[in-house]
Structure 1
Amino acid sequence: MFHRIKGLALALAAPMLLIGCAFSPGKFTSTLTILADRSFTFSYQGEVIAVDVAKDMGDAFKGMGKDGESDKKKITAALLRDATLQEDEDAPAIEDEEAAKDDAEKEAKFKAIAEALTKEAGYRSVAYRGDGVFVIDYQISGKLTHNFLWPYNLDAEVIFPFIVLELRGQDAVRVKAPAFGETDSPGEGKSSGAKAKLDGTFTLITDGELVSQNNEDGAKTEGNRRTVTWKATPLSKDAPMAMVKIAPLP
């Protein structure tokens, strides 16, 4: 009976559990250089942190509803409370064993992810430090003849982008860094758990025409280049965004 009730409760939360983990920046330094001839260089040095999205989404539901919980969450909690009364005295030991097994599997998966990333162009070093923390040195250069986003690695199951370069028309590129601040776009931004660990700077350098940017401190001019630096902290509001005009596509 206990396992049947527990299964029902887990079924209610299944959409969240399927999401699993995402990745967010920790302490980092990142620079993006976009030149008018369409050449670019992007670098990221620092921490990348694995986040339990299912847990964060569960925490986010707290406070919903008239009495601080949604009706579904109240029902789930009641089912779990009733089920707990039917557990035998060996249940705590079994749960501890299962938790230890889950942690070991998670650590093994993270080590495999680190190995997978080392095979991708641009990763100069990837080290897994344990507890979901990776230390990464990444740099890549190329031509903006197509959109660019990072990170993205299907083998490592890394699909949430920290930064997106989107070509707009024939002669412009839009820069968005959703992981470095708040965003209203679905699927972008940081989980609440990772936000407290955010500590870094993102710098855009360009000799193209800086059409717009959302840093209230504005841009600095050095020679023929303009520089915008965003500070990413737990208090950061708007995610970095900018529009740059570059040479038209041939």
Structure 2
Amino acid sequence: MTANTRTLTGTRSLAAALIASLSLLLTGCFMTPGKFTSELVLMDEDRFTFTYDGEIFFLGLANLAEMGAASEEFEADDCYDAQTYESRECTAAEIAEQREVWEMNAPIRAAKAQEQAQQMSAMMGGIDPSDPQASAELVELLSRQKGWESVVDKGDGVFDVRYSVSGTLSHDFMFPVIEGFPSTNPFVQIILREGGVVRVNAPGFSSQNEGNPMGSMMGSMAGLGGMAAMAGQSANGPDMPDVPTLEGTFTIVTNGQIRANNTDEGANPTPTGQMLVWDISPRTKAAPTALIDLSR
């Protein structure tokens, strides 16, 4: 295989990964935690406090869309020897024919790109990801919602946030909830059952489970930087985004009865009750979950 063939293969592999990423965004899986610390306090009389300190990565505000557009530049398909089926350099006539077909399909690609841009804007509460002010708009949107005490744009889709809310569990709870955004990939859910029993699930705090397809996608994207370099992407187009690593701790503190949980060590005593701790990393397979009785 020639150097040109390897470069072409790398470019196409990168483009395929970008298309998969953008498709993931359009299905609603567009947020994932980075480095974080999160705590949920559950007490009798249905009192609760939830905090999240750390990074949130928004796929739609990374430069993946721009990279996807760059990957739409014409690249000749591989040509093969008719007898040996080995790849070979394409002739000028073959390249010209391929380019003609590619240019004929330009209106179809443009229409699809426009459709995807409209879909991405709808997924992000009307914020246009291609607008240079998109990140500032998101900061403003979050800052006016209750609980978002601090929102700092770190660039390329990564935001450092401080979220804290306290109250009474009169209904189910989910984080994050953003005005105008679909609630499709929650980090943490609190589900109320009859009799004062609470189920806590944290699908966003695992990179390898069906409840968080975004996490597994972000894990696989960590290696795309090298692929981009192979394809010459850094020299000829936008750089790969600096996707944050999923890393943190999730803690539940409660004075209720812990009926079930999937921590490694089980509950530890505290002055006010018991504590469950999950250490989260890219190797975390099972999403944190616990069943707690607050009726005692």
TM-score, scaled to structure 2: 0.59
Residue 20 of structure 1: CA displacement?
6.6
The equivalent residue for 1:120 is: 145
The equivalent residue for 2:41 is: 33
Q: Are residues 1:206 and 2:254 paired? A: yes
Residue 114 of structure 1: CA displacement?
1.6
Question: What CA deviation, in whole Å up to 9, does each residue of 1:13-47 have, x standing for no partner?
Answer: 89657337611100111000000221000000110
The answer (yes or no) to whether the contact 2:176–2:186 under 8 Å persists in 1 is yes
The equivalent residue for 1:70 is: none
The equivalent residue for 1:228 is: 276
Q: In structure 1, what residue type is equivalent to 2:99? A: L
Shift in alpha-carbon separation, 1:45–1:184, aligned structure 2, 3 A: closer
CA RMSD of aligned residues (A): 3.5
The answer (yes or no) to whether the contact 2:203–2:212 under 8 Å persists in 1 is no
1:178-193 equivalences in 2 (<5 Å): 178-182=203-207, 184-185=209-210, 190-193=215-218
Greater strand content:
1
Q: Are residues 1:23 and 2:23 paired? A: no
Q: Secondary structure at the match of 1:120?
A: coil
Question: What CA deviation, in whole Å up to 9, does each residue of 1:191-248 have, x standing for no partner?
Answer: 4215761011100000000111001211101234111110110111111000110138
The equivalent residue for 1:238 is: 286
Whole-Å separation in 2 of the counterparts to 1:17 and 1:209: 39
Q: Secondary structure at the match of 2:195?
A: coil
Shift in alpha-carbon separation, 1:20–1:222, aligned structure 2, 3 A: closer
Q: Secondary structure at the match of 2:30?
A: strand
Whole-Å separation in 1 of the counterparts to 2:246 and 2:34: 5
Shift in alpha-carbon separation, 1:222–1:21, aligned structure 2, 3 A: closer
The equivalent residue for 1:85 is: 99
1:111-150 equivalences in 2 (<5 Å): 111-150=136-175
Shift in alpha-carbon separation, 1:29–1:107, aligned structure 2, 3 A: farther
The equivalent residue for 1:6 is: none
More deviation, 16-25/163-172: 16-25
The equivalent residue for 2:267 is: 219
What is the percentage of aligned positions where both structures have the same residue?
33
TM-score, scaled to structure 1: 0.69
Q: In structure 1, what residue type is equivalent to 2:283? A: L
Counterpart of 2:198 (choices 173, 186, 192) is: 173
* Higher alpha-carbon Rg: 2
Q: Secondary structure at the match of 1:190?
A: helix
Residue 108 of structure 1: CA displacement?
2.8
The answer (yes or no) to whether the contact 1:36–1:245 under 8 Å persists in 2 is no
Shift in alpha-carbon separation, 1:174–1:231, aligned structure 2, 3 A: same
Shift in alpha-carbon separation, 1:144–1:21, aligned structure 2, 3 A: closer
Q: In structure 1, what residue type is equivalent to 2:253? A: I
- Mark the runs of 5 or more structure 1 residues left unpaired by the alignment: 1-11, 59-80
The answer (yes or no) to whether the contact 2:30–2:214 under 8 Å persists in 1 is no
More deviation, 184-193/148-157: 184-193
Q: Secondary structure at the match of 2:45?
A: coil
Residue 147 of structure 1: CA displacement?
0.2
Residue 153 of structure 1: CA displacement?
1.3
Q: In structure 2, what residue type is equivalent to 1:234? A: P
The equivalent residue for 1:61 is: none
Greater helix content:
2
Whole-Å separation in 1 of the counterparts to 2:156 and 2:98: 29
Whole-Å separation in 1 of the counterparts to 2:274 and 2:98: 61
More deviation, 191-200/202-211: 191-200
More deviation, 180-189/229-238: 180-189
